[in-house]
Structure 1
Amino acid sequence: MASIDEILAAEPPAFGRAVRAIIAGDPRTLRAELAAVPDLVRARSTSPHHATLLHYVSANGVESELQGPVANADEIAALLIAAGAEVNAGCDAYGWSDTLGLVVTSDHPNEAGVAGRLVALLCSAGATIDGPQGDGSPLAAALAFATLDCVEVLIARGARTDNPAFAAAAGRTDWLRAWLDGHATIAMQPAPNLLPLSSDRAVAAEQALVFASMCGQTETVRLLLDAGVEVNAQPPGSHWTATPLHTAAIQGQVVVVKLLVQRGADPTLRDGRHRSTAVEWAGHARGPRRALARAVSILLDEREHRNWE
């Protein structure tokens, strides 16, 4: 495994110094490097991913040694954008990626508690909120990777929510009610391949229940349960989804967990991928959601639910 010094030694010196400042969260050094070489902000790595400096802020898609949580990543990104970084520029990570797509699928900004702020900053600077194809890929990716701060910002900034999974995540109960009723004016757009939405309406409704549970949309969960959606379903989703209860538990959605159990969710069920219970899933919560997930674990460990009413 190469060291950080070895990786950066392969880059032009100014570019390597700028990358080191980014991953260290050092705005003073980065500002000095950008002032000395104004075109540096548009330069690209010589590595196969060909990332610009802004891509490195995501801590994703570049060499793993250069990835890690940076508490002031939004400050670093703002500095780069002010210096002329192109927010919608792509790089060759994962085939093709822009900074927004890399941020919403990265563990490190999420762990540092800065992912939502980064998404807000990128959107304010002109990032394409529905992705380069206009298919909602940033929101789909954020849901697939369960980066909920990113989900919330994308929805608040106007990301499209015109399919059952997106609408459920956004708490659009009116849209979902009309869709469940088969209203002719509801035009359902497909989700990107990253988040395959079933063409079977019953399964799509189960997927909606899962993503509403993930995002803590209590009234949407209630609506879908009242419509007869199976509370213990395990529809296709991502590695962060299973039953609604598993999915809510790992995100620390205490109120939704209570509702699901009251409506028949079985805490003893094991998911099909990891063969784990909802309590065991809660033990793998990330970043700022760990404390809430611990509260969920306490609730689900109780054998008596008298106080849940």
Structure 2
Amino acid sequence: METQPYHERITDGKFRSAVDLLDAGDADGLKVYLTQNPELVYQRILFDEEGYFKNPGLLEFVAENPVRHDRLPENIVEVARVILEAGAKNNADQIDYTLGLVCSGRVPREFKVQIPLIDLLCSYGANPDGAMTAALAHGEFEAVESMIAKGAVIDLPAAAATGRTNFVAKLIPLSDSRQKHLALAFAAQHGHAAALKFLLDAGLDPSLYNPEGAHMFSTPLHQAIISGHENCVRLLVEAGARLDLKDTIYHGTALDWAMYFENTAIISYLRSQGAKPGDE
């Protein structure tokens, strides 16, 4: 049975009405409603599940991430400003978390409000550094460049994910193990072979499962395959990446993933290296 969208699972009638006004783009109506019910700006809804949207506040619904309607009203920036001015501007953690949702969601980008929402949230004090990993993991590079322009640090994961190869070479000896691990995952996922080679030459294990925040159910090899980056697949295999490791959700090997995504060149290469499906 299909799960209801999050807004349809809100049992608090007042909070649900506020979300409905938000979804309708009724900024004036929402402003009046929050004046009458100011507690809603500070309230959080607890959904009976784990995940990144298990306990959202009203502001977080402006990101449409997770997808609920697959659209956003044209004036969502104005709607977000109403919520911020009604009191959400006093909650730095919620502003930061909302920025992460906006930066990692496709709907804000597709409706051309991602950058305006980033601008708004940062003007209210959101920390662009805190949203970088989510944006990088989801390949939201317009958001990444916007946050870099706002002062976000180009660390090793950001450099590897965006193909800033010269930065990668300089930052490897200055970075900790988690940064290196993230960088390896992002370089493979986003197809930056030169950055990936620097990391592998520095001794990074090509068979490590990706860290939290970077599709941790899979390995760099899995992610290079899903993205179709044959050059990165070859680099990882040549560096000793194990071909028998299965992802922890679908339980597929590298060859299983290549077969599922019907990438004949990668299938042929993996078979030539002795790769087998997980059921053999």
Residue-by-residue CA offset, 1:40-62 (whole Å, 9 max, x unaligned): 797625754496643212356xx
Instruction: Report the CA distance between 1:38 and its aligned residue.
Output: 7.5
- The TM-score, its normalising length taken from structure 2, stands at 0.64
Q: Deviations over 1:81-138 (max 9, x none)?
A: 4547358553887xx9631134456xxx44x474795542222224279954x7x221
Aligned residues: 253
Task: Classify the secondary structure of the residue corresponding to 1:75.
Answer: coil
Sequence identity percentage: 19
Mapped contact 1:207–1:236 kept (Cα < 8 A):
yes
Q: 1:278 to 1:113 in 2, by over 3 A?
A: farther
After superposition, the Cα gap between the structure-2 partners of 1:176 and 1:33, relative to the gap in structure 1 and judged at 3 Å, is same
Are 2:214 and 1:232 equivalent residues in the alignment?
no
Provide the rounded CA distance (Å) in 1 between the counterparts of 2:112 and 2:37.
Answer: 21
Provide the rounded CA distance (Å) in 2 between the counterparts of 1:230 and 1:205.
Answer: 8
Equivalent position of 2:19 in the other structure: 19
Q: 2:139 aligns to what?
A: 148
Structure 2 segments unaligned to the other structure (5+ residues): 46-54, 273-280
Q: Distance in 2 between matches of 1:84 and 1:5?
A: 20
1:121 and 2:138 aligned? no
- Aligned to 2:40, the other structure's residue is in SS state coil
> Given the alignment, which residue of 149, 158, 163 partners 1:171?
163
Q: State the alpha-carbon separation in 1 of the partners of residues 145 and 177 from structure 2.
A: 22
| Counterpart AA for 2:40 | R
Q: How does 1:42-121 map to 2 (within 5 A)?
A: 44=40, 47-49=43-45, 53-59=58-64, 68-73=67-72, 75-81=74-80, 83=82, 85-86=84-85, 90=91, 98-104=97-103, 109-110=105-106, 112=107, 114=109, 117-121=112-116
Shift of 1:246: 1.3
Q: What is the Cα-based RMSD across aligned positions, in Å?
A: 4.6
TM-score, with length taken from structure 1? 0.59
Unaligned runs of 5+ in 1: 61-66, 189-196, 284-292
1:103/1:35 CA distance change after superposition, 3 Å: closer
Residue matched to 2:51: none
